[in-house]
Structure 1
Amino acid sequence: MLSYGSPRVRKELKSRGIKVSLPTVAKIMRENGIKAITVQKFKPPATTGSNHNETISPNLLDQNFNIKTQNTVFVTGITYIPYVFLFLYLCDFKDLYTKKIVGRAVDTHIKTTLVMRAFENAVNNQKPNKGLIIHADRGSQYASKEFREELSSKGFIQSMSRKGNF
Structure 2
Amino acid sequence: MKELAVDGVPVTVTCRVLKLARRPYYRWLGKPVADAVLEEAYHANALFDAHRDDPEFGYRFLADEARGAGAGMAKRTAWRICRDNRWWSVFGKKRGRGSKAGPPVHDDLVSRNFTATGPNRLWLADITEHATAEGKLYLSAIKDVFSKRIVGYSIDARMKSRLAVTALNNAVARRQNVAGCILHTDRGSQFRSRKFVRALDSHGMAGSMEGSGRQATTRPWSPSSACCRRTSSTRRSWATRKELRIAIVTWIERTYHRRRRQASLGRLTPVEYETVMTTLAIQAA
TM-score range, shorter chain: 0.5 to 0.7
Percent identical pairs in the alignment equals 31
Deviation at 1:105, TM superposition (A): 0.7
Contact 1:50 1:138 in 2 (8 A): no
Cα pair distance change 1:108/1:55, threshold 3 Å: same
Contact 2:104 2:209 in 1 (8 A): no
* Alpha-carbon distance in 1 for matches of 2:209, 2:148: 19
Out of 112, 136, 147, the residue aligned to residue 87 of structure 1 is 136
Measured against aligned partners, the alpha-carbon deviations of 1:25-50 in whole angstroms (never above 9, x if no partner) come to: xxxxxxxxxxxxxxxxxxxxx9xx96
Q: Which residue does the alignment assign to 1:74?
A: 123
Deviation at 1:55, TM superposition (A): 5.0
With a CA cutoff of 8 Å and minimum separation of 6, indicate the structure with the bigger relative contact order: 1
* Alpha-carbon distance in 1 for matches of 2:138, 2:177: 25
Query: Following TM superposition, where does structure 1 have runs of at least 4 consecutive aligned residues deviating by more than 3 angstroms?
Result: 49-52
Cα pair distance change 1:161/1:51, threshold 3 Å: closer
Q: What SS does the aligned partner of 2:151 have?
A: strand
Deviation at 1:78, TM superposition (A): 0.4
Tell me, yes or no, if structure 1 residue 137 matches structure 2 residue 209.
Answer: no
Aligned CA-pair RMSD = 1.9
Gaps of 5+ in 1: 1-45
Cα pair distance change 1:77/1:50, threshold 3 Å: farther
Q: What SS does the aligned partner of 1:81 have?
A: strand
Measured against aligned partners, the alpha-carbon deviations of 1:70-127 in whole angstroms (never above 9, x if no partner) come to: 1111100001111114110000110010101010111111100011111111000111
* Richer in helix (by share): 2
* Alpha-carbon distance in 2 for matches of 1:129, 1:91: 19
Contact 2:172 2:178 in 1 (8 A): no
Q: Which residue does the alignment assign to 2:172?
A: 123
Q: What SS does the aligned partner of 1:67 have?
A: coil
Q: What SS does the aligned partner of 1:141 have?
A: helix
Q: How many residues align?
A: 118
Q: What SS does the aligned partner of 1:152 have?
A: helix
* Greater Rg over alpha carbons, structure: 2
Which letter does structure 2 place at the counterpart of 1:108? A
* Richer in strand (by share): 1
Q: Which residue does the alignment assign to 1:149?
A: 198
Q: Which residue does the alignment assign to 2:150?
A: 101
Gaps of 5+ in 2: 1-94, 220-285
* Alpha-carbon distance in 2 for matches of 1:157, 1:128: 14
* Alpha-carbon distance in 2 for matches of 1:65, 1:115: 21
Which letter does structure 2 place at the counterpart of 1:65? F
* Alpha-carbon distance in 1 for matches of 2:194, 2:122: 21
Deviation at 1:56, TM superposition (A): 2.2
Measured against aligned partners, the alpha-carbon deviations of 1:138-164 in whole angstroms (never above 9, x if no partner) come to: 011101111111111221100001231
